[in-house]
Amino acid sequence: MTGPEATAGVIATAGHVDHGKSSLIVRLTGIDPDRWAEEKRRGLTIDLGFAWLTLPSGREVGFVDVPGHERFIRNMLAGVGPVRLVVFVVAADEGWKPQSEEHLQILDLLEVSGAVVALTKRDLVDDATLAARTEQVRARLEGTRLQGAQVVACSSVTGQGIDELVAAIDAMAGAAPVPDTGGRPRQYLDRVFTIRGAGTVVTGTLTGGPLSVGREAEILPSGHRARIRGLQSHKRTVDVARPVARVAVNLAGTPRTDLERGDVLTLPGQWRPTSMFEGWIRTVRSLDHPVTSRGAFKVYAGSAERDARIRLFGVTELRRGERAFVRVRLNRPVVLDFRDPFVLREAGRRETVAGGEVLDTEPPEKPGRDVIERLTARMDADRAGLAARLVADRGFVRRSDILMLTGVPDAGGVALGAWIGDQTAVERAKTALTSAVDAHHREHPLRSGLDVAEARVTLASVEAPLHDVSVADELIAWMVAQGALVRTGTVVRLPEHAATTAGREDADRMIAAVTAGEPQPPTVAELAAAGHGRELLQAVVADGRLVRISADLVITPEFLSQAEQVIRTQAATGGVTVSSFRQALGTSRKYAVPILEHFDATGVTKRQGDVRVLRNP
C-alpha cells in the first residue's frame, strides 16, 4: 500500500514549549518542521510546521507541529483544529507544565479520536524519575479523551524508544475511525504563500472529499473562484488529492492578498459560511470563575479564529465541568459543519474556558421557546438523520440548502418543486388553506373561488417559510396535483364547488330587468340602485348569461348577437358609422359607442376614421 491511497491521516503534536516536539518530528521523519529563521534562532516553534512519515504498515501520515508557547496558542489551535489524531509530548526531565495542561484541555474539548503520549528526553532522567513522570502523566490524562493513551518513553538524541513510538503511532492510525472521504471536500487553509513561476499556493488539512486538478474551487467566506492548477501531497504531485491528508493547492489567477488563514477551500455550491451557530459547550476542568453570556470571547474552529459573543440557553452561568446549549455570534463568517468541534477562549483573560460541538450552522434568527428541545433532538441525531431534522425544524427547506447545511443530498419529506416540506407542516398548511377556501365558498357562493393572492396570505399566517411566494405557490401546485384544489387562472376552489346562477330567482330578475330595458338597458349603477348586487352581477357575467360591454354596461347575449348582425349587414354595403348603427339598433349614442368599441376589442371590427369595417370580411 503506497502513494496517496495509503494516506492514513494527519497527526498533530501538542505539549509545553521546549519539550521537544520539533526535535521528535525531525527524528521520526527526517524533516525539520521549523520554517522560520526566528524559530531556528530562538529554538522554539512559533508557527505551524509540517512533515510526513511512512509507517511500518505502509500507511503514510502527515504531521502538524504546533507551537507550545502560550503566546502562540492561536497558532496551536489553527494546527490541531482540523486534526483528530495527536502525539502529546511531555519532557521527562520537566514533567507536567502549564501549557501541557492547556493543550490537554484543548484536545479534550476538540474530542480527538486517538492519542499517543511521547515522554521525551528519556536520556536526561534515571529510571525512577521516568517512572514517576509516567505515573504523573497518566494521572493528568484521567477523565479526558486521552485517558488510557499509550505512553512511550523516547529520546530524539539517542533514538531510544523511537521504534516503539513509531509502532504506537501506527497502531493509533490503524485504530482511528474511518473518515468520510466521498462527501464534500473542505480544506481549512493554514498557510498562504507565493511561488515564483507558479503563483499562489495554499496548504491545509483536506477532509470530507477529494480535490482534482482542473476543477474550479471556491474560497469561503469570500466566495472567490479559482481553477486548481496543481496539487501536491507530501511533496508529490498528484492529479487527485484525497482526504485525510496535508495538501498544497496551486490556484490560478488568485492574488495572495485575497486569502488568509482560516479560509476554506472547497467546490462551488457545497458549503455556506455562517456568522451564527448553535451547539453545546463544556467548561474546562481548571476553570476558576463562571462563564456567562457577558464578555468577549474568541472562537476557534478548524484553522479559523473569530471574535464572538455567546448566549447560554437554560442557565445564566457555567462553572467548572458544566455543560449547556449555546448560541454563538461571530464577527466574520466561518465555514462549519454539523458536529464540528470548537474551542472558546476569553478574550480578556486570554485563557481557554470551554469548547463544544456545532449542532446548527444556520439557526433561526429567534431561538424560540423550544430551543432546548430543538437542540436536544439535533444532539441525538446522526448525519443520516440530520437532513430530516433540518426539514422538521424549519417546516420548508430549499433543496439546494439541504446539501449545504447537512452534507446529505436527500431529506425525504414532501417534494414541492425546488423545496422539501415536512409532512406535518405540509398537512397543517393544507388543512388551513382548505378551510380558508371552504369558508370563502360559504361566504361568497357566487364567486368562482379564492384569489391566489389571498391563498398566499392564508399560508403565510400558518408557517413562517410560506411568506416566500415561491414555496407558497409550490404548495398550492402540490395541492392541485393531489386533487385537493382546482386552479383556474388566478383563482383556486374546492373540487366540489361550482359557482352558478342557474335557478336563482335574483339572477333571473336581474337578467329580466336588462332584457326589458334593451335596446337601452339599465346601467350597472342603475342595477345596483335597484337592489341587484355587484357580486351577483359578476356571477351572472361569469356564467355567460350577461355580457360585460364596459365598466358600466351589461347586455344580454341575444342583444349582442343582434348588434353584430346589424354591423355585418351595414359593413357589406360600405361601412358602419356610430349614427347608422345607433339608428338601426334603435338605441342612443350612450349605448352604441361602447358596443362598437366592444366589437373593436374582440376583433369583429376595426376603425378607419369615423367608419368601422369588418376585420375579417
Cell of 572: 357589406
Residue 604: predicted pLDDT: 94
Residue 33: predicted pLDDT: 63
Residue 77: predicted pLDDT: 62
3-state secondary structure 83-114: CCEEEEEEECCCCCCHHHHHHHHHHHHCCCCE
CATH of region 186-266, choose from 1.10.3720.10, 2.40.30.10, 3.30.160.20, 3.40.630.40: 2.40.30.10
CA atoms within 13 A on the CB side of 410: 1
Measure the CA–CA gap between 497 and 485, rounded to whole angstroms.
Answer: 10
Helix H or strand E segment including 395:
none
In 3D, which of 100, 96, 102, 108 has the Cα closest to residue 143? 108
In 3D, which of 176, 171, 108, 183 has the Cα closest to residue 145? 108
Cell of 285: 476542568
DSSP letter (8 states) at residue 413 = S
Q: What are the beta bridge partners of residue 265?
A: 187, 219
In this structure, the chain runs to a length of 617
Residue 206, C-beta contacts closer than 8 angstroms, at least 6 positions apart? 185, 186, 187, 241, 242, 243, 244, 245, 246, 247
Residue entry with cell 392564508: 458
Give yes or no for a contact between 65 and 45, defined as CB atoms under 8 angstroms apart: yes
CATH class of 505-614: mainly alpha
Number of Cβ within a 10 Å radius of residue 477: 14
- In CATH terms, the fold of domain 396-499 is Arc Repressor Mutant, subunit A (1.10.10)
What value does the CA radius of gyration of the chain take, rounded to a whole number of Å? 38
Measure the CA–CA gap between 470 and 350, rounded to whole angstroms.
Answer: 48
Number of Cβ within a 10 Å radius of residue 316: 10
Measure the CA–CA gap between 529 and 158, rounded to whole angstroms.
Answer: 112
3-state secondary structure of 322: coil
Residue 43: predicted pLDDT: 37
CATH 2.40.30.10 occupies which residues in the chain?
186-266, 274-380
> What distances in angstroms separate CA 191 from CA 5, 22, 117, 407, 428, one per listed residue?
24, 18, 27, 26, 51
CATH 1.10.10.10 occupies which residues in the chain?
396-499, 505-614
In 3D, which of 28, 63, 18, 67 has the Cα closest to residue 47? 67
Residue 48: predicted pLDDT: 56
Cell of 318: 457555567
Residue 210: left if φ>0, alpha if ψ -120 to 50, beta else—which one? beta
Number of Cβ within a 10 Å radius of residue 2: 9
Please state at what angle helix 371-380 crosses helix 383-394, rounded to 10 degrees: 160
**Within the chain, how many helices (H) and strands (E) appear?**
18, 33
Measure the CA–CA gap between 251 and 15, rounded to whole angstroms.
Answer: 34
CATH 3.40.50.300 occupies which residues in the chain?
4-175
Measure the CA–CA gap between 228 and 250, rounded to whole angstroms.
Answer: 6
CA atoms within 13 A on the CB side of 330: 23
Measure the CA–CA gap between 528 and 511, rounded to whole angstroms.
Answer: 13
Cis amide prior to 177 (ω within 30 degrees): no
Give yes or no for a contact between 270 and 229, defined as CB atoms under 8 angstroms apart: no
- In CATH terms, the fold of domain 4-175 is Rossmann fold (3.40.50)
Residue entry with cell 376595426: 606
Residue 336, C-beta contacts closer than 8 angstroms, at least 6 positions apart? 274, 277, 301, 342, 358, 361
pLDDT averaged per 10 residues, the chain (length 617): 48 86 91 50 46 92 68 55 83 93 88 93 96 97 95 97 97 87 89 85 90 96 94 91 90 89 94 97 94 94 93 96 97 94 90 94 92 93 88 92 87 91 96 96 86 96 92 97 95 89 85 95 94 88 91 95 94 90 95 95 92 88
Cis amide prior to 617 (ω within 30 degrees): no
- In CATH terms, the fold of domain 274-380 is Elongation Factor Tu (Ef-tu); domain 3 (2.40.30)
Cell of 358: 456545532
Cell of 287: 476553570
Residue entry with cell 340602485: 529
Give yes or no for a contact between 184 and 267, defined as CB atoms under 8 angstroms apart: yes
Q: What are the beta bridge partners of residue 327?
A: 278, 311
